[in-house]
Amino acid sequence: MLQILLVAHGNMRIPPNGWGAVESLIFEYYQGLVKLGHVVSILNTTDLGTIVSLINNQEWDFVHIHNDALVNIVPCLKDNKRIIVTSHYPYIQSPERWNDPASGYNYGAIVWNPLTDLLKSRPNTLVGTVSPKDYMFLKQYVPEKNVFLMLNGVNSSKFQFVETPQNSKRTICLAQIMKRKRQNLLRDVGCVDFIGKVIDTEELVENRYLGEWTDDGKYSCLTQYGNSVLVSDGENGAPLSVKESLFAGLGVVVSEAAASELPRSWSWVTVVTEDIIRNPDLLAKAIEANRSKALQMRPQIREEAMKLWDWASLVLRYVESVKKGFGLT
């Protein structure tokens, strides 16, 4: 039995009710670890003093920090604390995008430089990466023994599944409405409905925007679509909504940025290049072809997705990786 602390961002409830992929991941790992018999706490606050105090003054087998900016407090922690840091930043593999003048955010200065320095000076620190491409990128710069892979998964029992969806001729884009997700490039693809919290109004396709879903709405309604589409320009791995679509039996049409975890051998996965994404006619044809094929394969789509990303197996792998990384028995 392990004593574990999971540290969140402190700006959204856990579990989330609707949007919050990081918060959902934290809660799923929490539930899975508890089910295995471990004692797990979640710390969800922005108060740095509270975070440092709780980590230092209680006994933990390890502390997993999911807010990568908190890498800067690790030097304030006792030397014997075992720390895991996970970054959910979508452009980890693109250093040319780290310094964003528009927002003033500089990932290199705020996270990357302190993290790589930390791994050199503090050997009992690990990095948990949420996608294979993040894992491969980090291995180029930090010792391989300090990096492990911990994928995001889906709770298959929550998602309803039907073989014949009500919206069999419609495609869903399930994502926050924001620049990175690039919903505006789907504006002239008339078969697409949009669901998501609005972050950037210029990405909003108002005549086909259907609002937000709660978790319960997503669990029951996602399976009623023929397929899903996401053409974002930056993702850690396959976004949670893409995996959820597969668990609900949908085919998926995705950009290269959103396809890193998806087997290219799956005929219900269509990865579209930038020239297709920026041509509404070609994009519409790719979406229609994917939807037509996927509608004939829905049970197989769900079954194959469950083999890769069902939470029960992912949490077991996580515990094995952490024990190996820290030399725990």
Q: Set out the domains of the chain in order of their start, with CATH numbers.
A: 3-153+310-326 (3.40.50.2000), 156-308 (3.40.50.2000)
* Under 8 Å between Cβ of 259 and 238: yes
Place of tokens 């930390």: 118
Q: Which residues contact 85 (CB under 8 A, 6 or more apart)?
A: 65, 68, 70, 71, 74, 115, 118, 125, 126, 127, 128
Residues 10-68: tens digit of each pLDDT:
989 998 876 778 998 999 999 999 999 999 999 999 999 999 999 999 999 999 999 99
Per-residue pLDDT, averaged over 148-171, amounts to 94
Q: What is the pTM of this model?
A: 0.82
Structure confidence by residue, pLDDT tens digits, 232-272: 998 877 888 999 999 999 999 999 999 989 999 999 999 99
Residues in the chain: 329
SS3 assignment, position 82: coil
Distance, CA of 77 to CA of 9 (rounded, Å): 18
Mean pLDDT of the chain: 94
Which pLDDT score is estimated for 229? Answer: 98
Per-residue pLDDT at 66: 96
Percent of the chain whose predicted confidence (pLDDT) is above 70: 100
CA-atom Rg of the chain in angstroms = 20
Angle at 99 between CA 91 and CA 187, to 5 degrees: 55
**Whole-number Å distance between alpha carbons of 81 and 84:** 10
Specify the 3-state DSSP secondary structure of 289. helix
Higher-pLDDT residue of 103 and 117 is 117
**pLDDT at residue 178 in the model:** 94
First to last CA, the chain: 10
Q: How far is CA 282 from CA 186, 249, 272, in A?
A: 11, 24, 10
Averaged over 192-196, what is the pLDDT? 97
